[in-house]
Amino acid sequence: MALTDEAIGKIKEMIVSGRVRPGERLPKEADLAAELGLSRNSLREAVKALSLINVLDVRQGDGTYATSLEPSLLLEALSFIIDFHRDDTVLDFLEVRRILEPAATAMAALRMSAEDKARLGDSLDSVDVNSPVDDFMAADLEFHKRIAVGSGNSVLASLVDNMSMPTLRARIWRGMTQPGALERTLGEHRLIHGAILSSDPELARSWATVHIGGIESWLRTVLTN
């Protein structure tokens, strides 16, 4: 993530300095990477991160544009962050996840087949802390969905899946802003997977509670600051 952070900083400096003006297109990827002394992969990740918060606008087949420079426009471009910090309802979803997911995880530890447990491990191994943010979050969603389905209860699996998406934005923001968040997420996923592999429902339940509770605790701190 350090290289991506450096790339984000350099793009931000381009915008702040006026090298790229409001509504102006950034240089082509290869040219911009060379100009900033970045790898193209680091540049792509920085662009993805900045487009998530609407600082950059990626237009398929056209290029990448700066959305704004004026403070009022920058605030508008970042309005989802402001809305997110005021939206306490995401805590309600996390509370429900903290109730439902540990139960589903405990059931999955007893009911998942050996093949499904192996596939759960494959989804876990498909990314690491240096993976693109969209790949990381896709793998995160898949990991939790596989466990929910593995509970063997279709109603519970549907409820868990529906509770997951409303908290995705908070998880993305945590991954981008909290040091060590991605490492902690992967570590907790591995502990959950290990408990499921061992067919230990109470251990699986405990680690799932710790995992969801950690996200909830972080968000409560953010919202009260």
pLDDT in tens, 5-51: 788 888 888 887 888 887 889 999 999 999 888 888 888 888 887 88
Within 10 angstroms of residue 217's Cβ, the number of other Cβ atoms is 11
Whether 82 has a pLDDT exceeding 50, the answer reads no
Whether 186 has a pLDDT exceeding 90, the answer reads yes
Instruction: Please tell me the total number of residues recorded for the chain in this structure.
Output: 225
CA-wise closest residue to 160 among 125, 112, 208, 116: 208
Q: Can you tell me the distance from the alpha carbon of 90 to that of 172, in angstroms, rounded to the nearest whole number?
A: 13
| Residue 85's pLDDT band (cuts 50, 70, 90) | very low
For residue range 194-221, list pLDDT tens digits in order: 999 999 999 999 999 999 999 888 888 8
- Determine the pLDDT at residue 107: 98
Q: Can you tell me the distance from the alpha carbon of 139 to that of 127, in angstroms, rounded to the nearest whole number?
A: 7
The mean pLDDT value of the chain amounts to 84
pLDDT average, residue stretch 74-87: 50
CA-wise closest residue to 175 among 52, 20, 40, 11: 52
Helix (H) or strand (E) holding 87: none
Q: Can you tell me the distance from the alpha carbon of 161 to that of 142, in angstroms, rounded to the nearest whole number?
A: 10
Whether 108 has a pLDDT exceeding 90, the answer reads yes
Q: Which of these ranges, 20-29, 102-111, 119-128, 162-171, has the smallest mean pLDDT?
A: 162-171
Q: How far is CA 222 from CA 122, 174, 183, 215, 225, in A?
A: 33, 10, 20, 11, 5
Whether 111 has a pLDDT exceeding 90, the answer reads yes
Q: Which of these ranges, 75-79, 153-157, 165-169, 219-223, has the smallest mean pLDDT?
A: 75-79
- Share of residues in the chain with pLDDT > 90 (%): 38
Q: Can you tell me the distance from the alpha carbon of 154 to that of 112, in angstroms, rounded to the nearest whole number?
A: 13
Tell me the domains of the chain and their CATH numbers: 2-77 (1.10.10.10), 81-224 (1.20.120.530)
- Determine the pLDDT at residue 104: 97
pLDDT average, residue stretch 152-159: 89
Q: Whole-model pTM?
A: 0.64
